[in-house]
Amino acid sequence: MQRTALQLFYLLSAILFVLGLRGLSHPRTARRGMFLAELGMLLAIIGTLFHHEILSYRWIVGGLVLGTVIGAPLAIWIPMTAVPQRTALSHSFGALAAALVGISEYARHGAHLGAGRVAVIGVEVMLGSLTFTGSLMAAGKLQGLIRGYPITYRGQNVSNLALLAGMAGLTVALALTPEAGRLFYLMVALALIFGVLLILPIGAADMPVVIALLNSYGGLTDAAMGFMLDNKIQIITGSLDGSSGFILSILMCRAMNRSMTNVLFGAFGKVPELTAGEEVKKPIRQTTVDEAAEVLGTARSIVFVPGYGMAVSQAQHRVRELADALKKKGVSVRYGIHAVAGRMPGHMNVLLAEANVPYDELYDMDQINPQFAETDVAVVVGANDVVNPAAKRERGSPIYGMPILEVERARVVIVCKRSLGPGFAGIDNELYYNENTLMLFGDAKDTMVKLATALKQ
């Protein structure tokens, strides 16, 4: 009876996970997809409670309460702008949990598990440990605790490859001598170090790919844990997570014009550093709200290009209101969306959907770039790296090769941000010094409100 209930719950939850992933493939169905996946997770947890090996529910209830006390406030109070680093932290904790389960299995049963199982545990703990520290590094970079651009050092690729070979060698050695506990713990230590060293040299345009890749490693860890514990739902969810994360990394690589080897072993050169607020001694054309509103009022076609600054200032609703005011005047309004604008895949789509911007006004890079030449005004709202022409021209730049939104081809570009400060990649932006660029300094939300008011007058 218990077993049947467990299998039924697992089957239902597996179906819900697949339907959830399918729903997440389009913004229109994403909310429903998310709900289905959440329901799937709930059923998986309920199903697991029927497991015949559970003798007491005391620790489970304790864990549930503790998890809720930490998780609920995190979900409720963390601002939207901090969601990417929170997600990286969740990956990190998930991977840590999986690694700890593997370590405890080995510590309890050791060589009795047999060569095959010890090898699976080895792989699981290795992936879990490196995902734990790697995701912590990624969260630190996204939170600005560690600098966002690549931290490189001499011989970094050789040392990383040596570490990787060392971990693989130890896992094989462990499979041959499952009782060698020292090898196991040495492998865990190397994997923890490898996670740090893998992420430190990656930055700027490659961070999104790496986050998707860490997500994929987390999924693989989960699948390996499923094999170890003989838990079918874990194998299914882990495989779904691992493969979808991997597909996302490949898609991001394509969008960024990068190869996976390039991302992982790019060993970028030193980046010309520019700290926020540093003065740049080139002339710019600073404009006022009234002048910018006049330019907008006389335009026939406008493309808004949102970026991370729009998310920081939560300006999406005000952008839509400004767009509505412009549309009332007969202006054609579109939005150019870069694949890595913001700090997580689909960040701008989520924000604009929240502000009820119609989907058919959103254009991705390949669609909108050819249209800039016929655009009167491109309004850049808190975007920086994704419109930086250095990606096309400056070899050695951490964003070199990344396709950008070519706003400079519009007749006029209005850039709305607070200063000449850099974006995530930490580099200066030539766009700000172009003849057809007008810099409108200020918080994005304030600026949008002021522009809409000035336009009405």
Q: Does residue 443 touch ligand NAP according to CB under 6 A?
A: yes
165: Cβ contacts below 8 Å, ≥ 6 apart? none
Q: Does residue 286 touch ligand NAP according to CB under 6 A?
A: no
Q: Which among 405, 404, 400, 399 has a CA at the least distance from the CA of 207?
A: 399
Cα–Cα distance, 221 to 165 (Å, whole number): 19
Stretch that binds ligand NAP, among 14-22, 61-69, 108-116, 413-421 (CB under 6 A): 413-421
Return the residue of 23, 140, 219, 307 that touches ligand NAP, per CB under 6 A: 307
Q: Does residue 444 touch ligand NAP according to CB under 6 A?
A: yes
Q: Does residue 425 touch ligand NAP according to CB under 6 A?
A: yes
Residue 56 or 275: the one with the smaller Cβ distance to ligand NAP is 275
Q: Does residue 318 touch ligand NAP according to CB under 6 A?
A: no
364: Cβ contacts below 8 Å, ≥ 6 apart? 337, 339
Residue 409 or 418: the one with the smaller Cβ distance to ligand NAP is 418
Catalytic residue annotation: 385
Region for 356 from its dihedrals, namely left if φ exceeds 0, alpha if ψ lies in -120 to 50, beta otherwise: left
Q: How many C-beta atoms surround the C-beta of residue 371 within 10 A?
A: 16
SS3 406: coil
Percentages helix, strand, coil for the chain (3-state, rounded to 5) are 65, 5, 30
Q: Does residue 106 touch ligand NAP according to CB under 6 A?
A: no
Return the residue of 217, 335, 424, 432 that touches ligand NAP, per CB under 6 A: 424
Q: Does residue 130 touch ligand NAP according to CB under 6 A?
A: no
Return the residue of 105, 385, 406, 428 that touches ligand NAP, per CB under 6 A: 385
Q: Which among 453, 386, 381, 412 has a CA at the least distance from the CA of 301?
A: 412
Cα–Cα distance, 216 to 19 (Å, whole number): 19
* Residue 287 C-beta: closest distance to ligand NAP, Å: 15
* Residue 121 C-beta: closest distance to ligand NAP, Å: 32
Q: What are the C-alpha distances in Å from 310 to residues 53, 370, 416, 433, 437?
A: 51, 24, 9, 22, 19
Interface pattern 65-84 for ligand NAP (x via CB under 6 A):
-------------------x
Residue 188 or 438: the one with the smaller Cβ distance to ligand NAP is 438
Identify the bridge partners of residue 303 per DSSP, sorted by sequence position: 334, 378
Interface pattern 20-59 for ligand NAP (x via CB under 6 A):
----------------------------------------
Residue numbers of the site for ligand NAP (CB under 6 A)? 84, 204-205, 207-208, 211, 276, 307-309, 312-313, 340-345, 347, 382-386, 417-419, 421-425, 443-444
